[in-house]
Amino acid sequence: MAAAASDNNYGIAGISWEARLLSLKIFNDADCNSDCSDAAAAAACSTDDVAIIKAINYAVGLNNSAATGRIILNMSIGEGVGCSVPLQAALTPAATAGLVLVAAAGNSPVGGIDSPANCLGVMPVGATDINDNIASFSARGAEMSSRGVVAPGVGIYTTDLRGSFAYGDGTSFASPFASGLAALVLSANPALTGVQAADIIRNSTDNLGARETYGFGRVNAYKAVLLALGKLSLYSTSPEMAKAYAYPNPYKPSAGRPLAFSMPDAVFGSGLEIGIYTSEGEKVKKVSEPNWDGKNEAGYDVASGVYLFFMKTDSGSAVGKFAVLR
């Protein structure tokens, strides 16, 4: 899903079709078959923090080198425990070094998000079905609310061993969609840091519902690339996006009243979120009320200019633009 070749009339096409794959072995030889199945009924094919940390450190050493370029660390693994201190100690410098850290949220709807997806700096990825409904098995939790996304993870046709193809279910199949998108975003704008690339993926999702379940929403590759290129305004031409309005327009903050956002009937619902961006796609502020005081996240007045806003509820999305005059 992340990097399969495209336009070859064979198999599947990857999200980032010219990205390269670097496989890092973390499972124990003694209890795993060559196809990663359990070697014996009494022994589960498993790994541990020591092996995972070695792989993380190895990837950090290769990141941004001539041999590999930028690295997105996809971790389609998980265990229903908290993030250990040693594991977090390895992941934090990995994020600082510029790696994009992505992990499967887990395949149990109770008990919270698995490790390493619940570690700080990691983007947990839940699974949705063909109808954009959350998969029955997809893990829920606070980490989804704060930094997670969802991607297709039910009935996924993908590559298999020995050059074949197969269908699979699980958040381990959803996670590579987000990882492939991270590679696509970085290829569109190589100047982005890993943190910025992850933020772009989150801020370009399609809202599907409750944050603990769906995170920021289902990944949207087209919108993410436009945001990475600073061309988010082009997305407003999509026929699928309802039109929203802001008033007064142009907005003069000195007039002493906030800018008000009008919600289209088709988008009317709960869980309102409005993201405000510059015309170049730089995030200004996110609000949860249908009004704005003309200030950015840091509390400073924004400059005069044209701004875009994306409105999301549990019923749908809408887009609009307005001007600020100082």
- The CATH number for 239's domain is 2.60.40
pLDDT bracket for residue 23 (50, 70, 90): very high
Over range 15-27, report the average pLDDT.
Answer: 91
Model pLDDT, residue 76: 95
Strands (E), 77-193: 100-104, 123-128, 149-152, 156-159, 165-168
Q: Are residues 217 and 258 in the same domain?
A: no
Q: Is residue 59 part of a domain?
A: yes
Dist CA 234 CA 118 (whole Å): 34
276 or 263, which is more confident?
276
Q: Are residues 249 and 225 in the same domain?
A: no
Q: Are residues 178 and 207 in the same domain?
A: yes
List, for residues 37-65, the tens digit of each pLDDT value: 777 765 677 889 999 999 999 999 999 99
Tokens read off for 177: 């969609």
| C-alpha R_g of the chain | 21
Q: Is residue 15 part of a domain?
A: no
155 or 234, which is more confident?
155
Q: Are residues 201 and 223 in the same domain?
A: yes
Q: Is the pLDDT of residue 205 over 60?
A: yes
Model pLDDT, residue 237: 52
Q: Are residues 243 and 216 in the same domain?
A: no
Q: Are residues 174 and 267 in the same domain?
A: no
Residue 16: strand, helix, or coil: coil
Q: Is residue 5 part of a domain?
A: no
Q: What percentage of the chain has pLDDT greater than the value 90?
A: 66
Judge contact between 226 and 235, C-beta under 8 A: yes
Q: Is residue 17 part of a domain?
A: no
pLDDT bracket for residue 194 (50, 70, 90): very high
Model pLDDT, residue 45: 79
Q: Are residues 171 and 276 in the same domain?
A: no
Q: Are residues 118 and 176 in the same domain?
A: yes
Q: Which of 162, 152, 161 is nearest to 129 (CA)?
A: 152
Residues in the chain: 326
Over range 159-166, report the average pLDDT.
Answer: 85
Q: Is residue 177 part of a domain?
A: yes
Model pLDDT, residue 10: 83
Read off the DSSP letter of residue 133. P
Q: Are residues 177 and 305 in the same domain?
A: no
Q: Are residues 71 and 142 in the same domain?
A: yes
Peptide bond into 176 cis (omega under 30): no
Mean pLDDT of the chain: 90
Identify the domain boundary among 165, 198, 229. Answer: 229
Query: Distances from the Cα of 313 to the Cαs of 14, 81, 100, 316, in angstroms?
Result: 30, 32, 28, 5
Q: Which of 292, 302, 256, 252 is nearest to 272 (CA)?
A: 292
Over range 63-90, report the average pLDDT.
Answer: 95
Q: Is residue 16 part of a domain?
A: no
Model pLDDT, residue 315: 84
Q: Is the pLDDT of residue 188 over 90?
A: yes
List, for residues 211-247, the tens digit of each pLDDT value: 999 999 999 999 999 999 988 777 765 556 678 899 8
Judge contact between 104 and 172, C-beta under 8 A: yes
Model pLDDT, residue 239: 53
Dist CA 150 CA 216 (whole Å): 8
Q: Are residues 154 and 79 in the same domain?
A: yes
Q: Which of 57, 49, 50 is nearest to 81 (CA)?
A: 49
Phi, psi angle pair for 32, to nearest 5° = -125, 135
Q: Are residues 169 and 296 in the same domain?
A: no
Domain limits at 69?
A: 29-229
CATH number of domain containing 84: 3.40.50.200
Identify the domain boundary among 204, 229, 254. Answer: 229
Identify the domain boundary among 229, 262, 290. Answer: 229
Q: Is residue 212 part of a domain?
A: yes
Tokens read off for 301: 């007045």
Q: Is residue 130 part of a domain?
A: yes
Task: Find tokens 């098995």 and name the residue.
Answer: 137
How many domains, in total, are found in the chain? 2
Q: Is the pLDDT of residue 282 over 60?
A: yes
Q: Which of 326, 1, 310 is nearest to 160 (CA)?
A: 1
